[in-house]
Chains A and B, each alone.
Chain A
């Protein structure tokens, strides 16, 4: 049975992918933490500061969707 936390994570990720163009107008160059569809709970240019603030608020970054917003798509060779 899929947990509510995981359902929210899936909705947050779907929304992030779908709306990434619009999010880039608001948050270009920042990390955002998304709790559910359309619910951005933190943002920061510094990834580690973002994690620290989430933990200070009692939120578990391991259960939230955390993504980097950029107008420039990532080119990577893995």
Chain B
């Protein structure tokens, strides 16, 4: 069974993306585009999708659980939260849905501490499909052929 993604030229060089449904306890089902990132340990919701889902930094501080470990990436650290028991649903080529349960990480920056330029660039970063989910599949990626899919 195979989940087909997109090779997006909005990134330089082009990047692999997949569409998914994400079901977050107390928030509900939302639609999302994820960057397939084998360098990322965990699947992570970033600022723009947090905003789309109504998760501001103040909401997160009051309602979400802080991640039990520090998470670091290039560019430094941001506030990291964890949502246990989130469900990520991918759609197979045949139209059948397959669901993956995971502990979804949410990484948010406090916009009040950022310059306008930093805020704009951070908002452009896509959410990430990390190895916690990628490793459940075989990943095929050929930018030159415009192919990306997860298979098992």
Contacts and interface: CB of A to CB of B under 8 A. Distances in A.
Interface of A: 1-2, 5-6, 9-10, 13-14, 17, 20, 47-48, 51, 61-68, 70, 73-78
19 contacts: A5-B31, A6-B21, A9-B31, A10-B91, A13-B6, A14-B6, A17-B6, A47-B48, A48-B51, A62-B52, A63-B31, A66-B48, A70-B124, A76-B124, A77-B74, A78-B35, A78-B39, A78-B74, A78-B128
A77 B128 CA distance: 12
A67 B52 CA distance: 11
B11 A47 contact: no
B129 to A, nearest CB: 11
B22 to A, nearest CB: 9
B104 to A, nearest CB: 14
B37 interface: yes
Contacts of B125: 74, 76, 78
Contacts of B33: 13, 65
B35 to A, nearest CB: 7
Nearest to A48: B51
